[in-house]
Amino acid sequence: MEVVAAAAKPKAKKHIHLFYCSECEELALKIAASSDAIELQSINWRSFDDGFPNLFINKAHDIRGQHVAFLASFSSPAVIFEQISVIFALPKLFIASFTLVLPFFPTGSFERVEEEGDVATAFTLARILSMIPKSRGGPTSVVIYDIHALQERFYFGDDVLPCFETGIPLLLQRLRQLPEAENITIAFPDDGAWKRFHKLLQHFPMIVCNKVREGDKRIVRIKEGNPEGRHVVIVDDLVQSGGTLRECQKVLASHGAAKVSAYVTHAVFPKQSYERFMTSNSAGPGDQFAYFWITDSCPHTVKAIGQRPPFEVLSLASSIADALQI
């Protein structure tokens, strides 16, 4: 008698109630639009006259026994306290599980103590998040994209479960759409970026740059690889002023790169430093980036830049929706 194996049923998706901070509203809407398993919820973000937060979680009773997530943006110290207050309150509302989505871990580049007196604020923020109360389902999951150094996973305590995701698949998808997809070379601005990303991009030819000291100046040089005739894409986790990316672009162009583009997951750009990359502000074709890809992990920057050339925004929305099902 022949036994026919029953087909495995697809795993049912968790229904997620997603709360979000004010500046993440656009990203939250995109996340909800990308999955029918995500339902947006709201918080009244108000302040007392003295400036301290006066917060209210709407429909708090309705989320009992439900899977809940919060989409955060710690874009400045001024907004962290009000969001931490909500993050600490949600797990106590008798929910089934709690996930914090913090696309950009803002103190990630301050992870080292190089001399006595330095304060590693990456460790401080990780300790704060490690104290999030448990929900009925257990420890909180913390989803972070392209944290500056992978060893920072060890800064988190055992009472949370850090889940480190990456925006690189978004870049790969976009590169496949380019007419010159077969002529792409990946460049890294330093050894740290190479260590961080090279295993995710190993099917591309690679270039590694570094900084060398000449007198009082630090000059960007090509350490290995050949950009001649190639569309070179510089890859890093974040950009601040963009000085290093600019210097890399110049040295790659001077060594014969046909085009130079850039990708960063986190476009911080303090003091509107993105202006120096605008096509309209460039000195000429040799001074331009063909494309500058960023994600929407830093909502203030995305709002300021829009889609002005050479910038293109690759949204994390679908990736976050998938991460919420882990």
DSSP string, 228-268: TTSEEEEEEEEESS-HHHHHHHHHHHHTT-SEEEEEEEEE-
pTM of the predicted protein model: 0.93
| Amino acid (1-letter code) at residue 4 | V
Residue 14: DSSP 8-state: P
CATH code 3.30.1240.10 for 168-315: no
pLDDT, one tens digit per residue, over 89-140 is 999 999 999 999 999 999 988 888 889 999 999 999 999 999 999 999 999 9
Q: Where in the chain is the domain with CATH 3.40.50.2020?
A: 16-165, 168-315
pLDDT band, very low/low/confident/very high, at 285 (cuts 50, 70, 90): low
Tell me: pLDDT of 6 over 60: no
Instruction: Encode pLDDT of 138-189 as tens digits.
Output: 999 999 999 998 889 899 999 999 999 999 999 999 999 999 999 999 999 9
Residue 211 is predicted with a pLDDT of 84
Distance CA 145, CA 260 (A): 24
**Predicted pLDDT of residue 114:** 84
The H helix count followed by the E strand count for the chain is 8, 15
Q: How far is CA 40 from the centre of its chain?
A: 21
Q: How much of the chain exceeds pLDDT 90, in percent?
A: 86
- 281 falls in which pLDDT band (50, 70, 90)? low
Q: What's the alpha-carbon Rg for the chain, to the nearest Å?
A: 22
Phi, psi of 91 (to 5 degrees): -65, -20
Q: What class does CATH assign to 16-165?
A: alpha beta
Measured between alpha carbons, how far is 15 from 325 in angstroms, rounded to an integer?
9
The pLDDT value recorded for residue 108 is 85
Name the residue with higher pLDDT: 159 or 285. Answer: 159
